[in-house]
Chain A
Amino acid sequence: MPNPSANRSMFRRILRRLLFANRGRLFVILLALSAGAAVSAALLNLQVDAKRRLTSEFRAFGANILVLPKSSAASSGGLMTETQLSRLALPLDMKVSIHAASLLYTIAEVAPGSSPSFSPVVLVGYAGVLPGSAPLDSLSQEARQTLRGSQSAENKSCIAGQQVATRLSVSAGDRLSFRNGNLTLGCVLTAILKTGGAEDGQIFLPLLKAQELAGKIGKISVIQINASGTLAQIEEYAQTLQQEFPELEVRPLRQFSEAQAKIYSRISGLLTAATALILALTALCVMAAMTNIAAERRNDVGMMKAIGGSARRVLNLFLTEAVILGLVGGLIGAAAGIALSVALGKAVFGVAAAPRLIVYPISVSLTVIVAILGAYPLRRLVNVRPATIFRGEA
């Protein structure tokens, strides 16, 4: 009694022979598919990771929403209380991701070390606001860390803008003394900041120290927020904030938000276009190889049809071959591509891209589709007429 599974076994047997009939060509097709899969997987991974990556990039540019005391709130002396900040986290269920810092601006006098010659300077007390969120603005990661490290009385670190440092002839490691009326404070200069902006003329202290020196415990001048997301999401977040803080002024920096959204959309579009282009080129490479195969296999197909092979069954063999090639090429290429994206991410954004698992099946599926599309020339074999082939006319 014949076993029907024998046909499946024969199908696999023929496939194996088809695949290894020409190892050179197999290598070329797999190379094309793997290369296509690798580049597309890398780009897709970068795209998926782009939002996070761009957010971190944009965060370095500063806030896109400012929360300020209302100009009419003269009674508060143009300052807010830190207790108001607890409500900042309320709208966090929204789709935007928030990074925020609270700052206190004050004027004090500064002198290097124990020098008696004090001069006025803008002091900025600085602290991250939301648990787990990194502070923002132009400060470097290290500088932010320095200031954020401890808000306790023991933290006596400070950072000076380059103009102030030059004026005071101080460098990292030197001590600075501050004076505000009867209040005095000392700190160790841990870094010199150069941004090309207003920060170069300021000195940054932990918020608590600045508040002590200014005699404004619990007060802040501004909350800087960097909200990442689409323009509409950012606008919606700003509106929600305004409702939450009716006594304060929530001022979205629309231009900046628009630029951020535009750049994200452009980069995302560019990566999508590049991925599509790579896949199209891969399909063309595979198509070229398959055109060659189609020409080579005309006789075989003619013979298969002559001995009773239907066009559908013969084509099934070739399409399955294409799917296998796409699958193998995709599995190898996508893995390499995701690894490549980590390196590319580092080169382009300065931070390694996180491998996104979802990219792997998507990339493999796309490669399989490309392989099937690339096998289009094999469709012509459906129309092969055995008699024509045997007459040597084709």
Chain B
Amino acid sequence: MTTQPLVNPSTSFAPAPQTPQVFLENLVKEYGTLRALGGVSFNIEPGEWIALMGPSGSGKTTLINILGGLDTATSGRVTVNGQDITRLGESDLVRYRAEKIGFVFQQFHLVPYLTALENVMLAQYFHSVTDESQAVESLKRVGLADRLEHLPSKLSGGEQQRVAIARALINQPKLILADEPTGNLDEANEDIVINIFRELHQAGHTILMVTHDVDIARNASRRIELTHGHLTLDTTCNFLEPAKLCPHGKPFPSSGCCSTLDSKSCNP
């Protein structure tokens, strides 16, 4: 497969450095009596690639949904590019999702009766104005120049995920949220997709990616782990050595690891 550079050099995606792009402050999400997120706080700097990890039910998807404006927080604040999204109404959240977020899902979530090209153009259509040549270019960048008119059912899983990535990127979002983007892919397609994310990262995109796979997480510049809705690890370790986990409520073993987690959060 040949892919073109994912990012137009003239286009800047990242805000000015040193300014956190995302602030999460004491984020709580409750479903009835179930507390999915129990007061999560962290910042995301522009251009970071964060691997969001943790066991099933730890609140990863809930966190990414709130950050993407798909769900609302019970309490706490989420500020993205200076905008507190917890205060946004439904119509503002729609604009927020269209303009600032690029979603990549594990299940791809392509519209089955639209072609690859139309799926990408659909995001343009909801954002502002469709531009077919731009959409074609976007698909070429993920190596699908010869699959433009294919329906999702005629594409492999990897190809569908690449269409989803092209769709996520078409409106040049500030933040890419990927929920286990390789979860349904074989190894070959996983490599292709991760390479695309690597290129996006190198081009300055901010990526928050939920994954269970430590090998995939090693590509990220930072790793955050949730357990039972609490932040238990926030590290910029390069994962050359197995990460040292911080079980919920236990002191975080900071020695030998370049954790950025506030020591007060883990130490008694």
Contact = CB atoms under 8 A, between A and B. Distances in A.
Given A303-B111, A305-B94, A306-B97, A10 B70 contact: no
Given A21-B113, A308-B97, A387-B65, A13 B118 contact: yes
Contact of A17 (B68, B97, B118, B128): B118
B105 interface: yes
Contacts of A313: 126
A17 B113 contact: yes
A6 interface: yes
Interface residues of B, number: 37
Contact of B129 (A7, A17, A307, A391): A7
A308 B95 contact: yes
B81 interface: no
Given A305-B94, A308-B97, A10 B113 contact: no
A299 interface: yes
A306 B103 contact: yes
Nearest to A21: B113
Nearest to A303: B109
Contacts of A10: 118, 121-122, 124-125, 130
A390 interface: yes
Given A6-B131, A18-B113, A306-B97, A387 B126 contact: no
Interface string A378-392: 000000011100110
A20 B114 CA distance: 11
A246 interface: no
Nearest to A8: B130
A308 B123 contact: yes
B121 to A, nearest CB: 6
Contacts of B107: 390
Q: Which interface residue of A11, A306, A309, A385 has the most chain B CB atoms within 10 A?
A: A306
B71 A308 contact: no
A390 B121 contact: no
B176 to A, nearest CB: 13
B98 interface: yes
A304 B130 contact: no
A71 B99 CA distance: 95
B129 A3 contact: yes
B118 A300 contact: no
Given A14-B118, A310-B91, A310-B94, A6 B109 contact: no
B183 interface: no
Contacts of B189: none
B222 interface: no
A11 B71 CA distance: 28
Nearest to A300: B111
B70 A7 contact: no
A387 B90 CA distance: 13
Interface in A356-394: 385-387, 390-391
A387 B114 contact: no
A54 B105 CA distance: 68
B167 interface: yes
Interface string A1-44: 01110110111011001101100000000000000000000000
B41 interface: no
Nearest to B123: A307
Contacts of B179: 390
A3 B131 CA distance: 8
Contacts of A306: 68, 70, 97, 103, 109
Given A6-B131, A306-B68, A308-B99, A14 B122 contact: yes
B112 interface: yes
B199 interface: no
B213 interface: no
B147 interface: no
B61 interface: yes
A309 B126 contact: yes
A306 B65 CA distance: 10
B84 interface: no
Contact of A307 (B90, B98, B128, B132): B98
A4 B129 CA distance: 6
B212 interface: no
Contacts of B103: 306-307
6 contacts: A10-B125, A305-B97, A308-B127, A309-B122, A386-B70, A387-B65
Interface of B: 61, 65, 68, 70-71, 90-91, 94-95, 97-99, 103, 105, 107, 109-114, 118, 121-132, 167, 171, 179
Given A6-B130, A7-B125, A390-B179, 11 more contacts: A2-B128, A2-B131, A6-B129, A18-B113, A305-B94, A307-B103, A308-B94, A308-B99, A309-B122, A390-B70, A390-B105
